[in-house]
């Protein structure tokens, strides 16, 4: 259920490391818990964050949830499609529903704190 090429946080975010950048989004578990996503607030390109900082919010018909970055970095791209189609997060949370891309340090110690797909599936199933 969870892509093996991603790493996962206990806050239900995922990242896909691609060299010195990573894509970030919320997991299928998170979007399922939230329900129908109606709005996604993302930071601006050029904004920098430390690991575990809040970088935006996801609003659903049920609740508003914060998005945290599990690793520090600079925003290099935001998924502009989410402004008009926030439902992409529900439809394809680990693909087209990505939220931001960050430039990161590939040697970041926070990467070691994240779970692989198997560990995350066990974590989310027992959550």
Q: What is the CATH number of the domain that holds 58?
A: 2.40.50.100
**Cα dihedral angle (66, 88, 2, 45), rounded to 10 degrees?**
-50
User: Is the residue at 109 inside a domain?
Assistant: yes
Question: What tokens does 125 get?
Answer: 């199933």
User: Is the residue at 4 inside a domain?
Assistant: no
State the pLDDT at residue 81: 98
Residue 47 DSSP class: -
> Which residue range(s) make up the domain with 19?
12-118
Query: pTM of the prediction?
Result: 0.94
State the pLDDT at residue 105: 87
First to last CA, the chain: 16
Mean pLDDT, the chain cut into blocks of 10 residues (127 residues total):
95 96 97 97 97 97 96 97 98 97 91 96 82
User: Is the residue at 1 inside a domain?
Assistant: no
């Amino acid at each position: 259920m969870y892509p093996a090429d991603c790493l996962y946080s206990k806050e239900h975010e995922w990242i896909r490391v691609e060299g010195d950048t990573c894509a970030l989004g919320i997991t299928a578990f998170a979007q399922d818990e939230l329900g129908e996503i109606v709005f996604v607030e993302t930071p601006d390109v050029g904004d920098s964050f430390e690991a575990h900082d809040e970088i935006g919010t996801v609003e659903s018909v049920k609740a508003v949830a914060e998005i945290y970055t599990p690793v520090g970095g600079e925003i290099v791209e935001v998924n502009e499609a989410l402004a008009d189609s926030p439902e992409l997060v529900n439809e394809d949370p680990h693909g087209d529903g990505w939220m931001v891309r960050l430039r990161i340090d590939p040697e970041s110690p926070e990467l070691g704190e994240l779970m692989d797909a198997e560990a995350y599936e066990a974590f989310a199933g027992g959550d």
